[in-house]
């Protein structure tokens, strides 16, 4: 049985999220933090096939899932990158 295209695209975006997070940790900068934040937003939109359990429900069809937490962590890593760049300029 072939893999659904949506599942494949979600895996590609997840790998891109991991790569950009590692890039942002290795070479912090404003550009890497902006790219990581953009990929984090794309991840929230593309993670449908591999979302996991619902952690917090807002409505019957909307809520925060386990895979959404990856975006929260990615934005935190981007914030740390911006903080490290601003601290090094002082």
Q: Are 66 and 53 in contact (CB under 8 A)?
A: yes
As a residue count, the chain comes to 90
Residue 61 has pLDDT above 90, yes or no: no
Q: Residue 1: what pLDDT?
A: 80
* DSSP E strands, 1-90: 54-57, 63-65
pLDDT digit string, tens, across residues 38-55? 999 999 999 989 988 999
- Average pLDDT over the chain, rounded to whole? 93
Q: Are 24 and 73 in contact (CB under 8 A)?
A: no
- Read off the pLDDT of each residue in 9-30 and give the average, rounded to a whole number: 96
Q: Residue 59: what pLDDT?
A: 87
What's the rounded Cα separation, in Å, for the pair 38 and 57? 24
Q: Model confidence at 60, in pLDDT bands (50, 70, 90)?
A: confident
């Amino acid at each position: 049985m072939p893999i659904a295209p949506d599942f494949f695209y979600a895996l590609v975006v997840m790998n891109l999220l991991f790569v950009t997070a590692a890039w942002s940790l290795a070479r912090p900068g404003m550009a890497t933090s902006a790219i990581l934040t953009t990929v984090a937003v794309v991840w929230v939109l593309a993670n449908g096939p591999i979302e996991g359990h619902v952690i917090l429900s807002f409505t019957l069809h909307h809520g925060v899932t386990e895979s959404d937490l990856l975006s929260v962590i990615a934005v935190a890593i981007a914030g740390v990158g911006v903080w490290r760049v601003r601290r090094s300029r002082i």
